[in-house]
Each structure stands twice: as C-alpha cells, then as structure tokens.
Amino acid sequence: MRRPRPWSPEAGYRAWIILPALFMLAFFVIPLGRVLFTSLSPADGIGLGAYQALFRDAVFSIVLLETLRIALMVTLGCLVLAYPVAYVVAELRGRWQRLALAMILLPFWTSAVIRSYAWLVIFQRQGPFNQVLLGLGVIDRPLRPLNSGLALDVGMLHIMLPFMLLPLLSAMWRIDRRLLLAASVLGAPPWRQFVHVYLRLSLPGVAAGCALVFITSLGFYITPALLGGSGTMMVSQLIYQQASRLLNWPLASASGSVLLILTSVLFVLYQRIGQPRTARRARPPVAGDVAEGRA
C-alpha cells in the first residue's frame, strides 16, 4: 500500500514549476536545439562544415570583433556616464529621488526602435547634430556620423544607459552611509572614504551593470541596422543576411550559436569573478560544503 507523501510547502508548490518549465521547453529549449542542430547539418551531412565555412571567410571574424568592440565601447561609455548619475540619485531623498528615477525610466519605456529612429533623424546630414555644430562654427562641413560609427555608439549608449544605471543604483542604495562616517573618524579623508569604502561596495553593481549592458549589446539588431550606416555591421545583422538573403540556414545557425556560446562564456565568467568576495565568502560554512569539498 502506498502511503501518501506528507504535504510540505515546498512539495506543494514545486509542482507548479512544471508550467513555466513547459513554456521554456516549447519556446526556448526546442528552438535553440533546432538552431544548434541546423548549424551542425549543412548540405554535405552532419559535421562542423558550417563553422569551418564561417571562420574560413574573414567577414564573420571581422564582424564578430567589431561587435565585441562596439559592445565594449558602449559598456565603458555607459559606466562612465551612469556612475556619477547613479551616485547623485542615490544621495537624493524623497520627492527629488522619485523625480530623478522617473526621468531615468521615461526613455526606458519608449521603444528602442523609436529611439533609434530619433537618433537617425538627429544624425542626418541636414539634421540638428550637424546644424548645431555648423552654427557654432565647430565644423565647416557636415559630418557623417551615421557612417563613422558615432551615431551607432551614441544610439546604443542611450538605449543601454538605464541597464547600467539601475544595477548601480540598487548597489549604491544598499551601501550603509554610516560606514563612510566610520571611515572618516578612522582617519580617511573624503576621497579615500570613496575609494576604500563606497567604490568597493558599489562594485557588485558595476559588475552587474557591465554584464547586462555588454551581453545585451552583443545581440543588438535594430539600432545598428538603422544607425550603423554602410560602415558597421554587427553579428545579428550578419545572421539576418545569411538567413534571409543568402538563405544559408546552417551558416546563420552557426553564427547564432557562436554568439550564444560567447555570451554564455561571458556570463559564466561574470558569475565566477564578478561577484564580490563578500557575497561568496560571507556565508557561514554549512555541512554540505565539506561533503562537496568546498570548505
């Protein structure tokens, strides 16, 4: 005779996980598996043919490096712009803080497509960007920011900025301001309070923001398509070309897989080294650690 398993809160709710799990399976795992499978089965049978073809042609490597470069620039740009802003917003109180947050989030709620188009207009040959610079006499011939990559960097920076700001803010909000007082009375002048305490304690936010911005930037499609001009191409555009124009699905799948693997590796790296040691070591040792050889 089977005894009914005793009910426990965990067991009771665990069953419901099956719903999102099914959803993920149907709309994420299976399609992804198909992409991987397609990448491994070019016309001449199962194998790494598509990957070989991908790296034989210099175009993919060039586009991949360009994509990494753009993602890195955007990440650094976001960090430089967002850190001081987050610092100020974290210091604000009450109504002013809510106002500042609304101003950060407002563009966040506007579609990236619309914002990319807006930048397209601004950076036109006859657009406000050139007119202002010409009017100020900074330049005497219109620049072509759409072809130089400037428009793309600015556009992506604008779209990604909140993704950097919000993790920074959440880390900064968690910093106990009394620690700065403690540092000051222990002999730290303001700049050393910042370097030794504030900056260090905000690093988890920096790591999270950088990971989020960098990884998201790798997969940008619309913005480079609109603002990249003829000079720049990112991996997602290349994939689109391979799939829709060349109709070479194995090649497109291989490109996508390379991007996915790269992203996963970066994410694992972030998980391993991006976490501050407080998060990793602060946990008191538990019995399981010994069994797993972690103690």
Task: Return the half-sphere exposure (C-beta side, CA atoms, 13 A cut-off) of residue 198.
Answer: 24
Using CB under 8 A, which of the segments 84-92, 192-200, 223-231, 267-275 binds other proteins?
192-200
Among 76, 179, 222, 266, binds other proteins (CB under 8 A): 179
Are 219 and 236 a contacting pair, CB within 8 Å?
yes
Site string for other proteins, 205-244 (x = CB under 8 A): ----------------------------------------
Helix 49-56 vs helix 58-91: crossing angle, to nearest 10: 80
Which of 6/284 has CB closer to other proteins? 284
Q: Which helix (H) or strand (E) holds 127?
A: none
Told to check if 185 binds other proteins by CB under 8 A, we report yes
Which of 122/183 has CB closer to other proteins? 183
| Alpha carbons 35 and 249: distance in angstroms, whole number | 9
Torsion of the alpha carbons at 117, 123, 128 and 131, rounded to the nearest 10? -160
Told to check if 1 binds other proteins by CB under 8 A, we report no
| Alpha carbons 211 and 51: distance in angstroms, whole number | 26
Which of 128/285 has CB closer to other proteins? 285
Which of 136/186 has CB closer to other proteins? 186
Helix 150-173 vs helix 94-108: crossing angle, to nearest 10: 140
| Alpha carbons 240 and 256: distance in angstroms, whole number | 10
Q: Which residue has the tokens 């665990």?
A: 14
Among 192, 195, 231, 261, binds other proteins (CB under 8 A): 192
Which of 43/186 has CB closer to other proteins? 186
Among 15, 138, 273, 282, binds other proteins (CB under 8 A): 282
Which of 179/222 has CB closer to other proteins? 179
Told to check if 197 binds other proteins by CB under 8 A, we report yes
Least distance between other proteins and beta carbon 284 (Å): 6
Least distance between other proteins and beta carbon 146 (Å): 44
Q: How far is CA 77 from CA 64, 69, 232, 257, in A?
A: 20, 12, 18, 28
Helix 249-269 vs helix 200-218: crossing angle, to nearest 10: 180
Sign of CA dihedral 5, 7, 8, 10: positive
Which of 5/277 has CB closer to other proteins? 277
Site string for other proteins, 136-175 (x = CB under 8 A): ----------------------------------------
Binding site for other proteins (CB under 8 A): 176, 178-179, 181-189, 192, 196-197, 200-201, 276-278, 281-284
